[in-house]
């Protein structure tokens, strides 16, 4: 529990880790013959990503201790002794780099791994502190937490095609949107602490306007992603149609009452979160099981891991019925 709080596990395992795992499922799905041994690189990549996220969040908490106190916040990292904080950060940094050693025969993996760690460090640590350098902070975080990790997955699998570009593009756009949401959500705290984020400098109104434009581009990449998967398995169109019908009948009537401005500035009802973090990974895990029945275990793990989304669907259906929408 203490370790989970230190890593801020609950803040990213259901979102960033889910979408990262989805890319792994996609590349496994493309395999001509799917065997249990194919899980080895996936397991290593998942462990690497967890360490990467842990390092990024801990270095952020370490660097933000002064501003957090000014905003009346205290993170678990600040409760540790200074030398213990530095030791944990060094161990996590080295572990994140070393865990991908089996794949460094491809220089692209090595270069991307070093760039990813550098971006995670530069986002919050001085003298770079990209988070206070306007749009560069948003781009840096989106690349470090979303885009570069997924490109590393494709590099580990040695897969460089059009779909690599599509995945990189949509993950970057999702990351940018989530960073805008994060800054809009943290705007009051950043004002109190004097943290000059993009939203603080350019106002929440301009931040929302830019997020809306990027959301439109994200939808285009989402259509391209769906088309890519459907080419390999036409049944995917049926599953996406089922989701669309469910969304229009059960989710949209409730979400439209909130309005897009509120949806794009709140972590409670982020547009398409359930599609990205539950529905897409679940569908591909199902396809893996159909290729090799052993992989239905992955499908079961998805259902257990993402059970909060099943509760979310239940709550949304209840809201729709009780509100009479």
pLDDT for residue 282 is more than 90: yes
* pLDDT (0 to 100) of residue 299: 94
* pLDDT (0 to 100) of residue 280: 95
* pLDDT (0 to 100) of residue 256: 77
Count the alpha carbons within 13 Å of 90 in the hemisphere toward its beta carbon.
6
Cis peptide before 28 (omega within 30 of 0): no
Place of tokens 């989701």: 243
Query: What does pTM read for this prediction?
Result: 0.90
pLDDT for residue 20 is more than 60: yes
* pLDDT (0 to 100) of residue 277: 92
Cα angle vertex 282, ends 253, 242, to 5°?
40
The string of pLDDT tens digits covering residues 177-193 is 888 888 887 787 778 77
For range 250-273, the mean pLDDT: 74
Residue 245 CA to residue 242 CA, distance in Å, equals 5
pLDDT for residue 234 is more than 70: yes
Which region among 30-44, 217-231, 248-262 has the lowest average model confidence (pLDDT)? Answer: 248-262
Tokens of 206: 């301009």
Any idea of the CA torsion for 237, 243, 245, 251, to the nearest 10 degrees? -160
* pLDDT (0 to 100) of residue 69: 67
Which region among 21-25, 67-71, 271-275 has the lowest average model confidence (pLDDT)? Answer: 67-71
Contact between residue 131 and residue 124 where contact means Cβ atoms under 8 Å apart: yes
The string of pLDDT tens digits covering residues 44-103 is 999 999 999 999 999 988 887 776 666 667 777 777 888 888 899 999 999 999 999 999
Residue 221: pLDDT band by 50, 70, 90 thresholds? very high
Domains of the chain: 2-234 (1.10.600)
Contact between residue 191 and residue 200 where contact means Cβ atoms under 8 Å apart: yes
Cβ-count burial 235-263 (b if 16+ within 10 Å, e if not): ebeebbeebeebbeebbebbbeeeeeeeb
pLDDT for residue 285 is more than 80: yes
Residue 6: pLDDT band by 50, 70, 90 thresholds? confident
pLDDT for residue 318 is more than 80: no
Residue 254 CA to residue 133 CA, distance in Å, equals 37
Cis peptide before 127 (omega within 30 of 0): yes
Phi, psi (5° rounding) for residue 182? -60, -45
Q: How many CB atoms lie within 10 A of CB 144?
A: 24
Residue 67 CA to residue 56 CA, distance in Å, equals 17
For range 212-239, the mean pLDDT: 93
Contact between residue 57 and residue 9 where contact means Cβ atoms under 8 Å apart: no
The DSSP line for 187-211 is HHHHHHHT---HHHHHHHHHHHHHH
Residue 63 CA to residue 179 CA, distance in Å, equals 18
* pLDDT (0 to 100) of residue 85: 86
Residue 324: pLDDT band by 50, 70, 90 thresholds? low
Tokens of 95: 């572990």
Tokens of 276: 């990205």
CA distances from 172 to 16, 130, 175, 214 (A): 12, 17, 5, 10
Percentage of the chain with pLDDT > 70?
Answer: 92
Q: How many residues does the chain have?
A: 325
* pLDDT (0 to 100) of residue 79: 79
Closest alpha carbon to 145 in 284, 27, 308, 13? 13
pLDDT for residue 140 is more than 80: yes
Name the maximum alpha-carbon separation found in the chain: 59
* pLDDT (0 to 100) of residue 287: 95
Q: In whole numbers, what is the pLDDT of the chain averaged over residues?
A: 87
Bigger pLDDT: 247 vs 293: 293
């Amino acid at each position: 529990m203490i370790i989970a709080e230190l890593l801020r596990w609950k803040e990213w395992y259901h979102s960033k880790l889910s979408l990262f795992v989805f890319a792994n499922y996609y590349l496994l799905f493309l395999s001509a013959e799917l065997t249990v041994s194919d899980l080895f690189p996936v397991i290593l990549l998942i462990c690497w990503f967890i360490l990467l996220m842990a390092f990024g969040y801990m270095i952020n908490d370490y660097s933000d201790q002064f501003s957090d106190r000014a905003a009346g916040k205290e993170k678990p990292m600040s409760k540790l002794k200074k030398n213990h904080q530095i030791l944990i950060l060094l161990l996590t940094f080295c572990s994140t780099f070393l865990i991908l050693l089996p794949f460094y025969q491809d220089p692209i993996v090595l270069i991307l791994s070093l760039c990813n760690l550098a971006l995670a460090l530069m986002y919050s640590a001085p003298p770079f502190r990209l988070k206070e350098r306007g749009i560069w902070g948003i781009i840096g975080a989106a690349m470090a937490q979303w885009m570069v990790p997924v490109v590393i997955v494709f590099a580990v699998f040695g897969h460089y095609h059009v779909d690599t570009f599509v995945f990189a593009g949509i993950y970057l756009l999702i990351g940018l949107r989530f960073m805008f949401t994060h800054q809009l959500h943290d705007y009051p705290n950043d004002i109190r602490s004097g943290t000059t984020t993009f939203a603080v400098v350019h106002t929440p109104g301009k931040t929302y306007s830019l997020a809306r434009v990027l959301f439109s581009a994200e939808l285009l990449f989402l259509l391209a992603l769906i088309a890519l998967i459907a080419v390999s398995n036409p049944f995917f169109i049926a599953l996406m149609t089922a989701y669309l019908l469910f969304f229009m009948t059960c989710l949209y009537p409730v979400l439209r009452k909130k309005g897009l401005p509120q949806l794009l500035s709140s972590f409670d009802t982020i547009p398409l979160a359930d599609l990205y973090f539950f529905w897409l990974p679940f569908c591909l895990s199902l396809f893996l099981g159909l290729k090799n029945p052993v992989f239905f275990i992955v499908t079961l793990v998805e259902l257990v891991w993402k059970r909060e989304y099943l509760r979310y669907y239940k709550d949304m259906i209840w809201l729709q019925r009780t509100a009479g929408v």
